[in-house]
Amino acid sequence: MQLEKQNRPANLPDSQTVNLVEHWTDRLFSFRITRPSSLRFRSGEFVMIGLFKDDKKPLLRAYSIASPSWDDELEFYSIKVQDGPLTSRLQYIQPGDEIILRPKPVGTLVHDALLPGKRIWFFSTGTGIAPFASLVRDPQTYEDYEQVILTHTCRDVNELAYGERLVAQVKDDALIGELARERLIYYPTTTRESSTKMGRITTLLEEGNLFKDLEITDFSAQNDRAMVCGSIGLNTDMKRIFATFQMYEGANSSPAQYVVEKAFVG
């Protein structure tokens, strides 16, 4: 796995060093790499990362940056696809290995794509929590909104562990902990293993249980803002639900009530 610096062909994308790898389940892992000092990004954006193939060509996939924009390192949260071209190999990285990073951050899950509001919802499934792991660690989220609601739906209970630790750390953080304890609400659900809250978030929303659990009346197009990241099915279903509340999709160039991005798998 180690990429020998002296063998690296010229004109290749930047490579960065792996500092930490954590395996959460047999399907999920996260890792932290060095951050090029020149890389600036907005919390919620993604970059291309990857490895060199045997023919020395880079194999890159889009990954949301899970660390906030102020962090010294870059964190990523990934699925392991056993026959996936990239993650079948990426899951074996170790501290000290090098991986490729193309330092051109992009993405729609950014504060700039939303109109000002009072409450922000981060709806995620699976590894779709990654951009929100960045945003819930960003002080701007708490400056911009009075309430921040992070929902995370996974198949099984053990797949919630990354999000659980994230939220605990944010609430314990010296800088944003006090605001986060007051403003951040975490709403984890599972669909295939029994837990305290079961069901797809779309079902919980449409049947009114989400609002009932959080003691919220409804979405208000004036005050509620949302970001969605997960499977294509989740994104399509959430768009349909937002439309019933007269909430519309925004972009950097035309901010509105919500933005959507699919979680990337490779």
Q: What are the residues binding ligand A2P (CB under 6 A)? A: 125-126, 153-155, 191-192, 200-202, 230-231, 233-234, 237
Q: State both tokens at 7.
A: 């063998």
Q: Closer to ligand A2P by CB, 40 or 192: give it.
A: 192
To ligand A2P, the closest distance from the beta carbon of 242 in angstroms equals: 13
To ligand A2P, the closest distance from the beta carbon of 210 in angstroms equals: 12
Q: Closer to ligand A2P by CB, 22 or 206: give it.
A: 206
To ligand A2P, the closest distance from the beta carbon of 266 in angstroms equals: 13
List of long-range contacts for 69-72, beta carbons under 8 Å, 24+ apart: 69/40, 69/41, 69/42, 69/43, 69/134, 69/138, 70/138, 71/35, 71/137, 72/35
Q: Closer to ligand A2P by CB, 208 or 233: give it.
A: 233
DSSP string, 59-117: EEEEEE--S-TT-SEEEEEEE--TT-TTHHHHTT--TT-EEEEEEEEE-S-SGGGB---
Q: Which residues, in sequence order, are CB contacts of 97 under 8 Å at separation 6+? A: 1, 2, 3, 17, 18
To ligand A2P, the closest distance from the beta carbon of 241 in angstroms equals: 10
Q: Closer to ligand A2P by CB, 16 or 64: give it.
A: 64
Cα–Cα distance list, 22 to 50, 127, 130 (Å) = 17, 14, 14
Q: Closer to ligand A2P by CB, 126 or 250: give it.
A: 126
Burial class (CB in 10 A: 0-12, 13-18, 19+), 243: exposed
Q: Closer to ligand A2P by CB, 69 or 127: give it.
A: 127
Q: What is the CA radius of gyration of the chain?
A: 19
Residue facing ligand A2P at closest CB distance: 233
To ligand A2P, the closest distance from the beta carbon of 234 in angstroms equals: 4
CB 169 within 8 A of CB 103: no
Q: Closer to ligand A2P by CB, 172 or 193: give it.
A: 193
